[in-house]
A = this chain, B = another copy of it.
């Protein structure tokens, strides 16, 4: 059916799952057996792939199969030959630009991280040129630290909060920046003559999750990112072919007519749920220092969550409101999108203990004649091994995969 860039899909599956035999590649990609055979032989000739020695059958984590066979391995039949990505083939850099933070990571072709850096910087104080320079400097630092010659650099992925035009690579608007319509991709491309991909951070996380969790790569899955803002990445059959290429601004769906203030107006979901909103509201009754450039630090937010768990009634109420808002976001997503999966992710979900019970509670009321949807809470840091533009480095610990709706 779907022809074209199947080489890329093979590489992607291999990067996600580690060494796999051809049979399993065929199953994962949905390609036919001869197609895999041909593709892999060409990829081996080009030194992207290596054949490793034969291996025991249970590659996949199907526990039922493993139990049936016992744990000794070695079924009968011709043993499988494992295929591995050649780590020496080249290197990949991922940059994540967020509020007051630029994270950079360099990985080999197999996806193992070789080095990474976190640069705290007041992003909203930067102009476009300074931002580019900083990013380029960070990338150069990664290259130096790992002694990577320039021609070894295969690609650079940049994840950015806000509205990103995937076609042009321009960031039209970002809460982390005071400037708009920034073209980060072009200067970086020129500086390193490597392929540069820019994406909305939520889209990047959604893609990373879809790559990490095969179930999410089938059908339509929506990943709601809660943190400095509230964004959403949507992935259809493992790809991010989407409206304007930007992540959804689900945070700016309106809840009530007279709600609290967000960045655009009154009553958006973000105004209840985003870090800055929670911190701002908390300051009305707690003695807290003002946030740096309108944005509370991670430590400040951690303190808030701690106190809420500790039983502060005002804070509990705040997080309860936030949970309601999150439920509305999920309900709106289900109503408009009818996705097969909804994933909640991002640093804001570190407070998920406080949020989730409200989400599920509200949802059963909201979802109406909903079809079954699987709602999961995911670690934002998933798949740091992932390829370009797929790292985001947010917090939020993995919790559970629960079911809600009907």
Contacts and interface: CB of A to CB of B under 8 A. Distances in A.
A265 B173 contact: no
A243 B3 contact: no
Of A2, A249, A366, chain B has the most CB atoms within 10 Å of the CB of: A249
Interface in A248-294: 248-250, 252-257, 264-265, 268
A161 to B, nearest CB: 12
A335 B248 contact: yes
A137 interface: no
A256 B256 contact: yes
A220 B264 CA distance: 25
A219 interface: yes
A162 to B, nearest CB: 8
A309 interface: no
- Which of A220, A246, A256, A257 has the most CB atoms of chain B within a 10 A radius of its CB? A256
B337 A337 contact: yes
A264 B1 contact: no
Contacts of A114: none
Nearest to A162: B369
Contact of A249 (B241, B243, B250, B338): B338
A270 to B, nearest CB: 10
Contacts of A331: 253-254
Given A265-B368, A365-B265, A253 B219 contact: no
Interface in A53-99: none
